Amino acid sequence: MPVLSASVPAYFEVEFKDNNGNWQQAQRINPLPASQRTLDFKYNIIAITGSQYFHNNFQIRFRTIGKRRLTDDTWNLDYVFLTARRPKAQTQFDIMTSRRVSSLLQQYTAMPIHQFLANISQSLNDSVYTTLNNYENQPRGITAHSTIQIGNNAPQQFATHPIAMRPNYLQYDSFPDKPADSFFTGLTGFPTIKSSVYVTSAETVTPDTRYNDTISRTTELRDYFAYDDGSAESIKSYVFGQGVQLGQVAVRYDLNKQDRVKSILVYLPKVGNIRNTIVNFKIWNVATNGDPDGSGIFTTSFSVPDIAQLDNWIEILVNPSVIVNGSFYVGWTITATQPLFSVGLDLNKTTPIRFTAVGSNWGTENLGSLMMRVVMNNNVTGLAETVAQTKTSSSLYPNPATDHVTIRGTFETMRLLTSTGQLVMEKKGNGTEMRLETQHLKPGFYLVHLQHKNGIETQKLIIQRN
């Protein structure tokens, strides 16, 4: 029974149901001291010897005890294997992957496709790796395979590695290979790329142990940069203390070619935010010392919306779009007198977060990745201005929508995207009116892009349920 040690003090408990219907503690597993904790699965055997457990209604229960705060006190259970008269020293033949596949991208978890194609080799990570475990008390020879799948196309293998797994051993396997640039040349649209590592071995005891022989992750090539994986394991709030008039927070982004910032996406949790709190979002160039430069090249005021709209991605438009080249920072400024302002924090990847009180030096924290994404427009001059000029040429109704929405207006192509830029639907214009069925879509905020001859019109659509 492999379990994962907790990230903070808590315990994992195994209980058996006796013949009187009562739950009895069989084992309590306490976390290791903080200095010894790892992300490794631990193989554990519990003998069932009491006569009170040998009945037709026998059950096993697992409980975790800890703080109910986000995912700080989380234990992961891989599988449970029951067998009679099993020797205590006998281990299960199971080679498993136990760590997330490394990001396909060197710096980001997602990036604009036009930035990716501008320098494929530099954008790709140097290696694809995961963690392999052998819990058996004898060595095993296996083969690890790495594949890339673009959209719905067939997976393509780009690396194969024979590995001699030592007994009872955690083997961190970092492959020196990365997919060739040729896998991605000529990409169009907004593709999703699936990178996988799978293991071939001689596991024959039970097919159930083969489910953990493959591990995958997806990479979005859309129109935005992201450091996060879309999941907020925590939140980050900055309070700069008494007497501080203004504080600033910033994250750096590096480009493969000149571009324009179209909007900023920020994940705002319900915890730590108050309606109508005013925050100024900013864009800075990079100074010669690597810090955000001066007072910034763009500033826009933002008001935190109602709590019902939070625990969601919120878009802050950059209009007119801002030209950036090389590297730039995006972030916000806050005042000491305003209420708390919090942003989602992804703990699975660490990206430097810069912060300062105005007049002080910039500091750096490495706590995770702020859930703040930057949407780019591929250096299309005047796109934001074109959107502003054509924003009333079409109409959506009803909005909010439930089971359908009608788009009235003349356009060449309609694209429906999530607030994070994921393409949901695409249709050619068919005259002056188009009806979209929305009952299959999740409630939330969407963007409707209408392609005209002279530009792109963007409208927001809210989908809700009755």
Spell out the per-residue pLDDT of the chain, length 466, in tens.
333 333 445 788 999 999 999 999 999 988 766 566 555 667 788 889 899 999 999 999 998 887 655 445 667 787 787 888 777 666 666 787 877 889 999 999 999 999 999 999 999 998 888 888 887 778 888 888 999 999 999 999 999 988 888 887 666 566 678 899 999 998 988 999 999 998 888 776 566 667 788 899 999 999 999 999 999 988 988 765 555 456 899 999 999 999 999 999 999 999 889 888 888 899 999 999 999 998 899 998 888 888 889 999 999 999 888 999 999 999 998 876 666 789 999 998 999 999 987 668 899 999 899 999 999 999 875 433 444 434 447 889 898 888 899 998 888 888 887 765 567 888 888 778 899 999 888 888 788 888 776 666 778 888 887 6
- The Cβ-side half-sphere exposure at 122, using a 13 Å CA radius, reads 9
What pLDDT shows up at residue 268? 95
What pLDDT shows up at residue 388? 40
CA distance 39 to 6: 8
- ∠ CA 188-256-152 to the nearest 5 degrees? 25
DSSP state of 388: H
Tell me if the pTM is above 0.75: no
CA distance 9 to 13: 13
- ∠ CA 70-72-74 to the nearest 5 degrees? 100
What six digits make up the tokens of 64?
A: 């975790």
CATH of the domain spanning 383-463, picked from 1.10.1040.10, 2.160.10.10, 2.60.40.2470, 1.25.40.10:
2.60.40.2470
CB count in 10 Å sphere of residue 247: 19
Virtual torsion, Cα 165, 167, 170, 174, nearest 10 deg: -10
Counting every residue written for the chain, the total comes to 466
DSSP-based three-state secondary structure for 440: coil
Cα dihedral across residues 399, 405, 410, 411: positive or negative: positive
CATH of the domain spanning 95-222, picked from 2.30.110.10, 2.60.40.1110, 2.60.40.10, 3.40.50.720:
2.60.40.10
Class assignment of domain 234-376? mainly beta
Contact 258, 323 (CB under 8 A): yes
Question: Does this chain's domain 95-222 share its CATH topology with 383-463?
Answer: yes
What pLDDT shows up at residue 386? 41
Q: Which of 259, 296, 283, 299 is nearest to 383 (CA)?
A: 259
What pLDDT shows up at residue 436? 92
Domains of the chain by residue range: 3-65, 95-222, 234-376, 383-463
CA distances from 340 to 147, 227, 244, 335, 344 (A): 45, 24, 14, 10, 13
Q: Which of 463, 458, 461 is nearest to 411 (CA)?
A: 458
What six digits make up the tokens of 123?
A: 């954008």
